Amino acid sequence: MTLDDWVRLGLLVAGLTHFGVLLAGIQAPSQLNWNEELPRLSAFNRKIMVVYYLFTGLTIVTFGSLTLYLRDEIMDRDPVASLLALVIGGWWCARILVDAFVFDHRDWPEGRRYIIGHIVLTAGFVGMAVVMLTAGIRGLWF
């Protein structure tokens, strides 16, 4: 397989992976006991948390949809589509950095399923970042 074949396949997998990440995100309120945790916040902070949660989900839906919809344009090295791929890749890099340097892993819920879930999610974040950055760089500079 050529690099182009790998990038095309990677874009398909990355686009679909966005929706897999959403499946994990949908479970966050129940798995992280938001019914007990969020009422401790003031009404305003609780609303901010819910809005951030929804906007993050909407962003991930948008990124996944655009990755799949603009796959041919990204492969054809369209400058706008390639730039969008870089933005998406950069967003996932930022998410990886937040996980590494902001979240304290001692605060994570305990249990094997949370460890496995974290590993799978992080692998997905890294995969999407690599694919989207590769596609964007390929489109704009090669």
| Cα dihedral 86, 84, 72, 66 in deg (nearest 10) | 120
Residues 115-131 have a mean pLDDT of 95
Residues 83-94 have a mean pLDDT of 98
pLDDT in tens, 28-43: 999 999 999 999 999 9
Sort 67 into a burial class: Cβ within 10 Å, 0-12 / 13-18 / 19+.
buried
pLDDT in tens, 99-118: 999 998 888 888 999 999 99
Residue ranges of the domains in the chain?
3-141
